[in-house]
Chain A
Amino acid sequence: MSIELKAGSPPASVPFYNDPKVRSIVYQVALCLIVAGLVYGAASNAVENLQRARIASGFGFWDNIAGFDISQTLISYSNTSTYGRAFWVGLLNTLLVAGLGIIFATILGFIVGIARLSKNWLVNKAATAYVEIIRNLPLLLQLLFWYNAVLKALPDLRESVKIPGGIFLNNRGLFLPAPVTQAGFGFVEIVFFLGIVGSIVFHIWARKRQEKTGQQAPVFLTSLGLIIGLPLIVYLIAGMPLSFNFPQAGRFNIAGGLEVVPEFAALLFGLSIYTAAFIAEVVRAGILAVSHGQTEAAYSLGMKPGPTLRLIVVPQAMRVIIPPLTSQYLNLTKNSSLAVAIGYPDLVQVFTGTVLNQTGQAVEVVAITMAVYLTISLTTSFLMNIYNSRMKLVER
């Protein structure tokens, strides 16, 4: 401690190559040069290779006629549509399977996660076996299994499995009754949305009143009445303006109804079952993370088990559950790209598969596909960061 330091000037004994500032600049400049060199080299090679292969570059292909069919489309599409249209079809199919998969996986995952904490030995062991087996098998194997070994092995059209309620199941897919709305159903929809708005308003009002007066209002029952009861009444008054178009089994085909192609069914089934196993673990960890003292304290205040769970345990568990749950949702969305292996026309199958093969424009097509997934991921993680910073435990 006896060394004298002149303020402001570094010790003269340090050679310039050991000066952290100089070194950090050298490192960074070197890295930038290397990256720039790689990018330049790759780009010039790509230009040369593309010219030699006579592959056009740029996004001009977007408006060209695609000329191929897609087995499942949510928006109008024919083989005279453009590549751009095919992109939207694929993207919507991806979002459809991901959205439904998230709903099913969440429901199944919460059930299994809670079952793993059950004191019932059989329930507990069955849930554990489910999680261990599903988590340790590759998703692709599971998808191929559902598609090739289960759905494709179903009996053919003539021997369709008939499920009560007018549902047919055969190797061409699942045939469900399709809902058909008639005049007047619009009122039911309007009332339904009004009910949602109304219950949100009621919830806010009830919370304010509780904060002011301490009186609790029956929020759940009121919301139930507003969202389900009221539309039901309107539905009955309007003369039940909803019928079902039941699939009719003909000799060679099934007419009418809602057809679910086996590719979609297999992908949805596989993704939901696989992701549910991971969600189950997230839920279990979240509930276990709430210390037992919290429950005991609630009981000692005289709270009943129901409100304890709803007001004490679940809110604290959700803080732990939601971030990993979101990343599971993201994984499910990204995993839906495995559709390419079983031929479900999702974004990757339509765009990176067929369009890439037809146009040969690898750089543009792969870049667009990646940009879509990147947008979904970065938006989600941005929203999660906001949520996390709002929900962060503030200690002291």
Chain B
Amino acid sequence: MTMSEGDLAVAQINFVRKTTLEPQPPPASMTGAVGWLRENLFSTPFNIALTILIALFLAWIIPDMLRFLVFDAVWSGVDREACLITAQRPVVGACWPFAFERLPYFIYGSYPISERWRVDVFFVILAVAIVWLLWLNAPRRDLGVVYSFIVTPIASYILLSGWPLIGLPKIDTVLWGGVLVTIVVSAVGIVFSLPIGILLALGRQSKMPAIKLFSVMFIEFVRGVPLVTVLFMASVMLPLFVPENISPDKLLRALIGIAMFASAYMAEVVRAGLAAIPKGQYEGAQAVGLGYWQMMRLIVLPQALKITIPNIVNTYIGLFKDTTLVFIVGIFDLLRTIEVSRIDPKWAAPSTSPTGYVVAAIFYLICCYGMSRYAQATEKRLRKADRR
């Protein structure tokens, strides 16, 4: 568009501002709380509708939850009488005295009361191992690895199952239960799945046909079936496959099942990491004359595991949640101790079951959410290295 002579004349006649205006603050409706609300909650009619819908839903559910968990909850009492619905108290919320009384059972199961200090020591040993491994600025992290993967398992085994020679009476695993079993099962899964998974992943990449075939068969077989059936296999078929006199302990069978299952999943996670390493890295390692195991140990695996850490932690979270399935083959993990307690006639009241489940939910939420936060932080930290 070009301006004609007449337009130019008009433009000259019209008033043109010579001075710059002072910058004005944006309209009040666009800043502060009001602006934020307009931008984030009420930008379009559709968004307004959604906001109202969700707000109504929250207004319906949150007060109910608070009432159940806090305001209407029972806080003291000795048995079900405290949590029953009576004429004076028609609404009864969570039955906390039940949870308080059963807390030791939730943590230790039927572990003999006089020996429970051993479980406490085990928790401390494990906590030290976890902090040493996960805290990046911890001193001597190389020693921490030895401590976590060699000292801790041996010490824990001696402590928990007992060694009469040093004055620790044997405790049958039938008596173990609650958080103790949940942690033992997941720790065994975590410790065994990584090395076996790495071996399986390497086997799957191997050029040797027999090794590759066995790895692929194992991984695909275990990943193709539900954990429940793996546990059933471990618990009903394993005793058939060994000579009658060495019938393995029930907990041990479940541990074998979990370790097998976790290893197959871990193998696929590690394989994804191995596949992401550029071919030049392998070729470079071979060019400087490294053998297969040196190449893997010094060049490939450190890089592959580094980029897989978030996925490894995610697999661990899945494993931690899946340990609840040992419940199905009759092992007293946390969930089963809660199931047993909530149907105990001593505490039979309408709100006992939800209370028990809330306790379990809090435990799993803290553990799993903590792990996933750590995975996200690690991912962020490792991504820093790739930024230019």
Residues of A near any B CB (own CB < 8 A):
24, 27-28, 31-32, 35, 41-42, 45-46, 48-50, 52, 118-123, 126, 132-133, 135-141, 144-145, 148-149, 152-153, 334-335, 337-338, 340-341, 348, 352, 356, 362-363, 366, 369-370, 373-374, 376-378
Q: With A123-B54, A352-B232 given, is the CB distance from A149 to B353 under 8 Å?
A: yes
- B254 contacts chain A at the CB level, 8 A cutoff: no
Give, as a whole number of angstroms, the nearest-CB distance from B68 to chain A. Answer: 11
Whether A341 lies near B233 (C-beta < 8 A) is no
Given contacts A141-B361, A374-B225, contact A338 B325 (CB under 8 A): yes
Known interface pairs A28-B208, A145-B357; A370-B229 also in contact (CB < 8 Å): yes
Asked if B121 CB lies within 8 Å of chain A CBs, one says no
Asked if B335 contacts A140 (CB within 8 A), the reply is yes
18 further A-B pairs in the complex, CB-CB below 8 A; given A123-B54, A140-B324: A27-B208, A28-B208, A42-B241, A45-B243, A46-B241, A118-B50, A120-B51, A137-B361, A141-B324, A141-B364, A152-B353, A334-B226, A340-B228, A348-B228, A348-B229, A356-B236, A366-B237, A374-B224
- Are A369 and B41 interface neighbours, CB within 8 A? no
Complex CA gap A369/B225 in Å reads 9
How far apart sit A49 and B239, CA to CA, in the bound complex (Å)? 9
Determine the chain A residues whose CB is within 8 A of the CB of B361 once the complex forms.
Answer: 137, 141, 145
Q: Is B103 an interface residue (CB 8 A)?
A: no
Chain A residues contacting B368 (CB-CB under 8 Å) are 135-137
Contact A45 B40 (CB under 8 A): no
What mask results when residues 315 to 357 of chain B are scored 1 for a CB within 8 Å of chain A, else 0?
0010001101101100000010001001000000010011001
B365 touches A45 (CB 8 A): no
What is the CB-to-nearest-CB distance from A31 to chain B, in angstroms, rounded to a whole number? 6
Q: Is B385 an interface residue (CB 8 A)?
A: no
A136 to B103, CA, bound (A): 22
Knowing A121-B40, A149-B353, A370-B233 are in contact, say whether A334-B242 is a contact too (CB < 8 A): no
Report the nearest A residue to B339, measured CB to CB.
Answer: A144
The answer on a CB contact under 8 Å between B54 and A27 is no
Asked if B244 CB lies within 8 Å of chain A CBs, one says yes
Separation of A121 and B220 alpha carbons in the complex (Å): 42
Q: A119–B335 contact, CB under 8 A?
A: no
Question: In this assembly, does B10 line the interface, its C-beta being within 8 Å of a C-beta of chain A?
Answer: no
* B237 and A362 form a contact (CB under 8 A): yes
**B240/A374 in contact, CB under 8 A:** no
* Known A52-B244, A144-B335: A136·B372 in contact at CB below 8 Å: yes
B236's partner among A28, A123, A140, A366 (CB-CB below 8 A) is A366
Chain B residues whose C-beta falls within 8 Å of the C-beta of A374 in the assembled complex:
221, 224-225
Closest B residue, CB atoms, query A152: B353
A334 to B233, CA, bound (A): 15
Given the complex of chains A and B, what is the CA–CA distance between A366 and B235 in angstroms? 11
Chain A residues with CB below 8 A from B220, complex form:
377-378
Query: Is the Cβ of A137 less than 8 Å from the Cβ of B232?
Result: no
Asked whether B350 lies within 8 Å of A153 as measured between CB atoms, the reply is yes
8 Å CB contacts to A: which residues of B102-139?
Answer: none
| Secondary structure call for the B interface | helix
CB <8 Å contact, A137 and B228? no
Partner of B369, one of A126, A136, A338, A366: A136
- CB neighbours (8 Å) of A120 from chain B are 40-41, 43, 47, 50-51
Instruction: Name the one of A24, A28, A41, A337 contacting B228, with C-beta atoms under 8 angstroms.
Output: A337
B327, A49: Cβ atoms under 8 Å? no
A28 contact from B43, B211, B321, Cβ within 8 A: B211
- Sorted from nearest, which 5 A-B pairs have the closest CB atoms? A377-B224, A136-B368, A42-B241, A121-B40, A28-B210
Asked if A140 contacts B225 (CB within 8 A), the reply is no
B85 at the interface (CB under 8 A from A): no
Report the bound CA distance from A363 to B243 in whole Å: 16
- How far, in Å, is B18 (CB) from chain A's closest CB? 38
Inter-chain contact A149/B229, CB cutoff 8 Å: no
How many angstroms between the C-alpha atoms of A118 and B39 in the bound complex? 12
With A28-B208, A50-B240, A340-B328: A153-B228 Cβ-Cβ less than 8 Å: no
A348 vs B230: C-alpha distance when bound (angstroms):
11
Q: How far is the CA of A133 from the CA of B243 in the complex (A)?
A: 46
What residues of chain B lie closer than 8 Å to A378, measured between beta carbons?
220, 224
Complex formed: what's the CA distance from A323 to B203 in Å? 24
Instruction: Check B240–A121 contact: CB distance below 8 A.
Output: no
| Interface residue? B80 (CB, 8 A) | no
Contact A337:B236 (CB < 8 A) given known A119-B43, A122-B55, A136-B369: no
Selected contact of A373 from candidates B51, B226, B327, CB within 8 Å: B226
Which residues of the partner chain A approach B236 to less than 8 Å between Cβ atoms? 356, 362, 366
Q: Indicate if B223 sits at the interface (CB-CB under 8 A).
A: yes
- B183 located at the interface, meaning its Cβ lies under 8 Å from any Cβ of chain A in the complex: no
Q: How far is the CA of A42 from the CA of B243 in the complex (A)?
A: 9
Measured CA separation A50–B229 after assembly (Å): 20
| Complexed CA–CA distance, A136 and B13 (Å) | 72
Contact assessment for B239 and A366 in the assembled complex, using a CB-CB cutoff below 8 Å? no
Residues of B contacting A122 in the complex (Cβ-Cβ under 8 angstroms): 40-41, 50-51, 54-55
**A366 adjacent to B43 (CB under 8 Å):** no
B229 adjacent to A341 (CB under 8 Å): no
Q: List chain A residues, Cβ under 8 A from B225.
A: 334, 370, 373-374, 377
Residues of B within 8 A of A135 (CB): 368, 372
Among B208, B221, B241, B327, point to the contact of A45 (Cβ < 8 A): B241
- Which of the residues A136, A148, A337 comes within 8 Å of B353, measured between beta carbons? A148
Which residues of chain A come closer than 8 Å to B309, judged between CB atoms? none
CB neighbours (8 Å) of B322 from chain A are: 138
> In this complex, what residue of A is CB-closest to B209?
A28
Q: A375's closest neighbor in chain B, by CB?
A: B224
Query: Quick one: closest B residue to A331, CB to CB?
Result: B226
Alpha-carbon distance between A366 and B221 when the two chains are bound, in angstroms? 13
How far, in whole Å, are A138 and B210 apart by their CA atoms in the complex? 38
Supply 13 A–B pairs (Cβ within 8 Å), ascending by A: A35-B214, A45-B243, A52-B244, A118-B50, A119-B40, A122-B50, A135-B368, A137-B364, A137-B365, A141-B360, A145-B354, A153-B350, A362-B240
Q: Is B34 part of the binding interface, using a Cβ–Cβ cutoff of 8 Å?
A: no
A338 nearest CB neighbor, chain B only: B228
Query: Are the CB atoms of B335 and A126 closer together than 8 Å?
Result: no
Contacts of A152 in B (CB 8 A): 353
Task: Kindly provide the distance from the CB of B329 to the nearest chain A CB, expressed in whole angstroms.
Answer: 10
Contact with A along B231-267 (1 / 0, CB 8 A): 0110011011111100000000000000000000000
Contact residues in B for A373 (Cβ distance below 8 Å)? 224-226, 229
B175 on interface, CB distance cutoff 8 Å: no
Chain A minimum-CB-distance residue to B51: A122
Q: In the complex, what residue of chain A is closest to B361 when comparing beta carbons? A: A137
Minimum CB distance partner of B241 in chain A: A42
B239 closest partner in A (C-beta): A49
Write the nearest CB–CB distance from A170 to chain B, whole angstroms: 15
Q: Is B58's CB within 8 Å of the partner chain A?
A: yes
Q: Is the CB of A132 within 8 A of B369?
A: yes
- The complex places the Cα of A138 from the Cα of B321 at a distance, in Å, of 5
Q: Which residues in A have their C-beta under 8 angstroms from that of B47?
A: 118-120, 123
**B321 surroundings in chain A (CB, below 8 A):** 136-139
Cα A338 to Cα B325 with chains together (Å): 8
In angstroms, Cα B228 to Cα A384, docked, is 25
